[in-house]
Amino acid sequence: MLSNNPGPIGVFDSGYGGLTILHGIRQQLPQYDYLYLGDNARAPYGPRSFDVVYEFTRQAVTKLFEMGCHLVILGCNTASAKALRTIQQKDLPNIDPNRRVLGVIRPTAEVIGDLTKSRHVGVLATEGTIKSESYKLEIQKLHPDIEVSGVACPFWVPLVEYNEADSPGADYFVKKRIDQIMRLDPQIDTLILGCTHYPLLMPKILKYLPDGVRVVPQGEYVADSLAHYLERHPQIEQKCSKGATAHYLTTENPDKFKEQAQIFLHEPVEVENTTLE
């Protein structure tokens, strides 16, 4: 039986990247309680099939609901691309039609029309997100005149997670993918970082980006979108507890999570182990 009492806003990611989303949200909406769940034991989700990503994401959403969340943000592009719609349409009506699950792709798609002048946009993301074409579909649904090109960056996540984002070796992999997407469409003037790890590579990305091309990390846009969502849906907002706290759960080793969280958040965190099934 799910509790009807106010509870934290849940943020789910397959690993650590969603911490950049949580950081952006907490900066803008610090008054709420947050519960972050990282399925680190089964990460990465990027190369996995739609069915597997959906099943894992459904388990995580159910866990967060059981822990008192009425609203869950999928702070993971792969989960947003491969699982969000099915969970919203198929699972929520059965679990609890009054609870909500939101993703990170639509908020970015909504603002992109105001950011691009050339109407040519690039997406750098994991293989799973690129293959799903979720960004292209969402953007062209809202802005049919925008051309969208995507390139997968398979080595970028390990660079961040092994704390190599500042290393000389990272330059090769960052430059290679930026050159590739600009060759694909030289008219691109706006580049979406469609993976929550990628903002940690920002110094390298800016180093190799052509002049006049802007980069769109998602954190601030997801936070803006969430603030507007809560304004428009007071019945959900009232179910979000306000104690300005953040708690962290991982399906992996909590000590490893603490190390990685330092990279993403630059602050110590307390972490508990949990299981998903």
Q: Which of 69, 76, 153, 240 is catalytic?
A: 76
- Please tell me the distance from the alpha carbon of residue 184 to that of residue 217, in angstroms, as a whole number: 21
Nearest to 39 by CA among 74, 14, 57: 14
Helix (H) / strand (E) element for 228: namely helix 219-232
- Which of 69, 153, 195, 240 is flagged as catalytic? 195
Q: How far apart are CA 147 and CA 134, in angstroms?
A: 14
Largest CA distance in the chain: 55
Q: Which two tokens stand for residue 220?
A: 């601030």
| Cα dihedral 17→179→173→169 (10° resolution) | -120
Rounded to whole angstroms, how far apart are CA atoms 153 and 159? 11
Q: Catalytic site residue 153?
A: no
76 in catalytic set: yes
Active site residues per annotation? 76, 195
